[in-house]
Amino acid sequence: MSEIDIAHVASQLNVAFDIPFVPESMEQAWLVWILDKSVPVIPIDIWDFIADASDGLTVEDQQRHEDAIVIAVNKLIDLPVIPESVEEALIRPVIHSLLQYAVKGASLTLYA
Q: DSSP string covering the chain, please? A: --HHHHHHHHHHHHTT---TT--HHHHHHHHHHHHHHHGGGS-HHHHHHHH-TTS-B-HHHHHHHHHHHHHHHHHH---TT--HHHHHHHHHHHHHHHHHTTBTT-------
Is residue 64 in some structural domain? yes
Is residue 109 in some structural domain? no
Q: State how many domains the chain has.
A: 1
Is residue 74 in some structural domain? yes
Per-residue pLDDT tens for 2-19? 888 889 889 988 988 888
Is residue 111 in some structural domain? no
pTM (two decimals): 0.81
Is residue 106 in some structural domain? no
Per-residue pLDDT tens for 26-74? 999 999 999 999 999 999 888 888 877 677 888 888 899 999 999 999 9
Is residue 67 in some structural domain? yes
Domain range enclosing 83: 3-100
Is residue 105 in some structural domain? no
